């Protein structure tokens, strides 16, 4: 019988969809250890891993002839899997795009609003019992309506953020991507990232993770931003050079940052946690039950196709 390995606790919908297969459901929510990854490749026909399960080239080299036919990743990002090494080992890799788009774009807007309107500071003020009442000059933030947003990466998620900004907040949209896009709203393609950073009030990071985008937002890009400019990252943590961002925030070189991801997550430096001009969320991008179930089911369909010798719907 076809053997499957599910690397995280799965909802009942997944278990129902995989009836008839020999499935091992891992109960831990922590990333797979190297021995677990080696066993997954050796002992199972298909594996459903997720963020944190680092299937590196070294892991693949530790298995001579993998039984595993597919790593059906739970999540749109797959930079934790060495896709080239997987292909060389005869293992397909898939992901779950589409299902995450709107939820992640909503988190981008949450971070934009919280950072611009200093909502995190305001909540802490109330929770600590330090609020003394309404004042006309208290916690004055930035009004988003009519401002200019810069989107770094105009894929599905970038476009969803841009739509919300354009239609919901009447913001001018500029974006950085490999090529200009045909979009159903006005948006300016900017081919120079530093120029984009200097021309916008909010810079939103929405590019895929990977070697090509590692530290794409570095000290030079942060220095190009306007003093009131806000940085929002809903993509992958290592796209932003964390040390440079902390320095920029400490020196008030930029207006603030809204982060859902971190370079070394789940580790978040105390120096970042101590900053009032940073809004910090615990990787909530797709954290709604409806979206997570959709992601699970998309991953399951990829998994089934892979073990049956078919091309998965979302092959990467």
**Where in the sequence numbering do the catalytic residues fall?**
236, 265, 283
**Starting at the edge strand that comes first in sequence, how are the strands of the sheet with 3-6 ordered?**
22-25, 3-6, 46-48, 70-72, 92-94
Burial class (CB in 10 A: 0-12, 13-18, 19+), 313: middle
Residue 108, both tokens: 């981008």
Q: Is 227 exposed, middle or buried (0-12, 13-18, 19+ CB in 10 A)?
A: exposed
Question: Is the previous residue joined to 266 through a cis bond, with omega within 30 degrees of 0?
Answer: yes
CA-CA distance, 54 to 208, in Å (whole number)? 16
Helices of type H across the chain: 12-17, 34-43, 57-61, 83-88, 101-116, 119-127, 156-163, 169, 193-199, 219-224, 242-250, 270-273, 289-307
The rounded Cα 72 to chain-centroid distance in angstroms is 17
3-state DSSP assignment of residue 205: strand
Q: Which residues contact 123 (CB under 8 A, 6 or more apart)?
A: none
The token duo for 195 is 């120029």
């Amino acid at each position: 019988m076809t053997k499957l390995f599910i690397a995280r606790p799965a909802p009942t919908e997944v278990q129902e969809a995989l009836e008839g297969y020999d499935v091992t459901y891992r109960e831990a929510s922590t990333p797979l250890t190297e021995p677990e990854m080696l066993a997954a490749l050796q002992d199972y026909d298909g594996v459903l891993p997720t963020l944190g399960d680092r299937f590196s080239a070294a892991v693949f080299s530790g298995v001579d002839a993998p039984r595993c036919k597919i790593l059906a990743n739970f999540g749109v990002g797959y930079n934790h899997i060495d896709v080239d090494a997987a292909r060389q080992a005869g293992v397909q890799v898939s992901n779950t795009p589409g299902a995450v788009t709107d939820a992640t774009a909503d988190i981008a807007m949450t971070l934009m609003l919280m950072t611009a309107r200093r909502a995190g500071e305001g909540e802490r003020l109330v929770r600590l019992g330090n609020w003394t009442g309404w004042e006309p000059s208290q916690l004055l933030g930035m009004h988003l309506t009519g401002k200019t947003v810069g989107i770094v990466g105009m894929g599905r998620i970038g476009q969803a953020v841009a739509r919300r900004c354009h239609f919901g907040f009447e913001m001018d949209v500029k974006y950085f991507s490999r090529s200009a896009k045909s979009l159903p709203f006005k948006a300016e393609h900017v081919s120079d990232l530093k120029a984009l950073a200097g021309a916008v009030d909010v810079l939103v990071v929405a590019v895929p993770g990977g070697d090509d985008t590692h530290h794409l937002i570095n000290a030079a890009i942060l220095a190009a931003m306007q003093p009131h400019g806000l940085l929002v990252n809903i993509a992958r943590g290592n796209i932003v050079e964390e040390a440079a961002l902390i320095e920029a925030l400490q020196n008030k070189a930029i207006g603030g940052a809204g982060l859902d991801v971190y370079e070394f997550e789940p580790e978040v430096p105390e120096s970042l946690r101590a900053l009032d001009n940073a809004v910090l969320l615990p990787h909530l991008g797709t954290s709604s039950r409806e979206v997570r179930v959709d992601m699970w089911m998309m991953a399951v369909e990829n998994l089934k196709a892979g073990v049956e010798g078919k091309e998965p719907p979302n092959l990467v």
